[in-house]
Amino acid sequence: MTNNNPLQIHIAHVVYSFATGGLENGVVNLINRLPRDKYRHTVVCVTDHDAAFFSRITAGNTKIVNLNKPPGKGLGWLLTCWKLFCRIKPDICHTRNLSALEAQIAAFMSGVSYRIHGEHGWDITDIGGVSRKNKIFRKILRPLVNEYVALSLESVDYLQRKIQVKREKINHICNGVDVNKFTPDRKSSVLPQGFSDSSSIIFGTVGRLAEVKNQTFLLEAFLQLRKNNAHIQTKLKLVIVGEGVLLDKLNTMLIGSGADNAVWFAGRRSDVADIMKQLDVFVLPSLAEGISNTLLEAMATGLPIIATNVGGNGELMLPAHKLSHIVAVNNVDELTKAMSLYLNEQAKKESEVVRKHCIENFSLETMVNKYHDLYQNNKLKKYKLARNHK
């Protein structure tokens, strides 16, 4: 990869790993849409990456490097990171989430002039950021970070109150969604036989099958919904897309429920956009979130969304739905009640207004423009001009 433009900004995006995930998908979308004549990129993985996922980056201005950090608390990878930064000389180091924050040390020691840290969501071992050790660690590294990016207002508040970051250093940049890829269109079906019947009412969710994503909560509410509405229970369907450790537990919950033919565990899919088009309502039952890409994708598809009251879920919700569609974590009665709102044609009636809300507030174009403004920092431009005139 050759840099023919001396004023082209070189960004090192530091992530823990680079494989399927909301954070990583956001990096892909950002790199693919930033002006290619103004930027070049190196994706730095603290551990490693999935080659197939990296191939989603279609811009020809991007390299990827694995630091291959071994399991455990060792800091040897930081020396490797420092050597990398000394060699590739990025203009910006942009770390994402707690697991990559230590790379700010290597960036500072190697002379990277502009250092950004993004808070995309809670670490799975520290939901809510309550760990005293993690708060102290964030505070220690705070002087090394020039600018912060917080995806949710919850993160903005956390950085201000708990980490004592000045508000003027915090940029609130919500995720964006490709509203051309995720669109309403039920002309074809990728669902199993019996699911695509015109009378079916299909609820669905997408995410890895992990405790933090809490699909067991959704399944429990769905089974109660069927029980409460025996007269139409044959119409009620549930689609769960994703793979992971919860699958056995979910299958066990179905035993003896009589709902075996009403629930489809779709596994890991490459056609999520097509599956979403066949749903009526999207449900996100997570224990924790930052700004959920899947909620944005569902809204772009024209699906009403129901979600737990965590992270930035409430920020994304259609204003008219904030009282009825945001539910307490693991409150089965609340979730069942919210799902009960869609036992008729209500989802179809709301589809257009939900999609319009998404397009107006959460398009990829809006997100990319905000990052572009952040990266085109005047101080950084002056630095590059001075450096290139030496």
**For residue 17, what is the domain's CATH number?**
3.40.50.2000
Is 30 within a domain? yes
Residue 232, number of CB atoms within 10 A of its CB: 13
140 lies in the same domain as 215: no
Is 190 within a domain? no
Q: Give the chain's mean pLDDT.
A: 92
Is 193 within a domain? no
Q: Does the pLDDT at position 143 exceed 80? A: yes
Could you tell me the pTM of the whole model? Answer: 0.81
Tokens 């490097």 appear where?
65
CA distance 178 to 329: 29
21 lies in the same domain as 130: yes
160 lies in the same domain as 291: no
pLDDT for the residue 384 = 58
244 lies in the same domain as 328: yes
Highest mean pLDDT among 101-105, 150-154, 310-314: 101-105
Which of 135-139, 231-235, 247-251, 379-383 shows the lowest per-residue confidence on average (mean pLDDT)?
379-383
pLDDT band at 382 (very low <50, low <70, confident <90, very high): low
322 lies in the same domain as 344: yes
Query: Residue 212: is it exposed, middle or buried by C-beta count within 10 angstroms (0-12/13-18/19+)?
Result: middle
Tokens 């669905």 appear where?
204
In which domain, by residue range, is 268 found? 201-361
CA distance 178 to 190: 21
Is 27 within a domain? yes
Q: Does the pLDDT at position 1 exceed 50? A: no
Residue 319, number of CB atoms within 10 A of its CB: 7
CA distance 58 to 29: 10
308-366 residue pLDDT tens = 999 889 999 999 999 999 999 999 999 999 999 999 888 889 999 999 999 999 999 99
Total structural domains in the chain? Answer: 2
pLDDT band at 3 (very low <50, low <70, confident <90, very high): very low
Q: Say which residues have a Cβ less than 8 Å from residue 163's Cβ, sequence separation at least 6.
A: 135, 138, 139, 142
Is 181 within a domain? no
346 lies in the same domain as 383: no
Structure tokens at 55: 């191939």
372 lies in the same domain as 272: no
138 lies in the same domain as 258: no
Structure tokens at 7: 């004023």
Please provide residue 52's backbone torsions phi and psi, each rounded to the nearest 5 degrees: -65, -40
117 lies in the same domain as 31: yes
383 lies in the same domain as 338: no
